[in-house]
Amino acid sequence: MRELSVAIQNENEKVNIIETINSIKNAGFKNVFIQWYDKNWEHSQEEQIKLCKELGFNIIFAHLGYQNINSIWEEGIEGDKLVERYQRDIKDCYENGIPMVIMHLTSKKKAPMYGEIGLNRIRKIVEYAKELDMKVAFENTKIKGYLEYVLDNIKDDNVEICFDAGHYHVHFDDEFNFQFFKNRIFAVHLHDNDKSDDLHLLPFDGTLDWKYVINKLKECNYNGPVTLELCYRYDYSNMSLDDFYKKGYNVGIKLAEIFED
């Protein structure tokens, strides 16, 4: 059966990140991914990595921040600064033994049109990652076309995508060119919603057709772990944090079983 993985989620409500990490350990997860957002959290991303390593977690990737990411497609110093920031983040992850980073290509519902300005900056980022033998996976966010454009124009073998099931459901209305991305999926974010918002629910708690999605991932030859991107909030706060992640672990097993069918 496939390995299971889960997000070290800083948006969990009414608990701190140390409690979150310990509950993930108690639930039985061995693999995690971290949020490398360069934010002033109570417990820094460096502290979080340190605790994860102390608990014996395998950190499969880091999700990099996306503040001001739309500027990457525009002329100006703000876009140039993003190249420096992402190269610095990639180096930090490399030095912490993290083999892959996840990046957004846009934020919000509108972004500047993709083109050579942004593509050239992205090339600098992924070429730097390649020098460090790091993988970069670009995530489907809210706007179609950007993933296709980047992967059409950048053929480096360290560059693929991260398929986000929740975004596919709420932002893409279940429309996704799986055939185009066959053999090009490095990572996944698996979570659910009811199409009202990007809710980060446990799979099977929303309206996404999980059997269909898993079968499509199989057709694309995705061979990585079942990676859950969950958030402890809403009605979940009526259960304990430990029970939430134990339920998440069991849901992960259920998804892994679908992969085996």
Tell me the per-residue pLDDT of 66-94, one tens digit each, with 9 for 90 and over: 999 999 999 999 999 999 999 999 999 99
pLDDT at position 153 is 98
Place of tokens 């990585």: 224
SS percent in the chain: helix, strand, coil, step 5: 40, 15, 40
- Give the model's confidence band at 55: pLDDT under 50 very low, under 70 low, under 90 confident, else very high: very high
Task: Output the average pLDDT for the chain.
Answer: 98
Q: Nearest to residue 162, comparing CAs of 37, 32, 63?
A: 63
**pLDDT (tens digit, 9 = 90+) per residue, 225-249?**
999 999 999 999 999 999 999 999 9
| pLDDT one-digit tens code per residue, 34-45 | 999 999 999 999
Q: What ranges do the domains of the chain cover?
A: 4-260
User: Which CATH number does 4-260 carry?
Assistant: 3.20.20.150
First-to-last CA distance in the chain?
11
pLDDT at 193: 98
The 10s digit of each residue's pLDDT in 123-179 is: 999 999 999 999 999 999 999 999 999 999 999 999 999 999 999 999 999 999 999
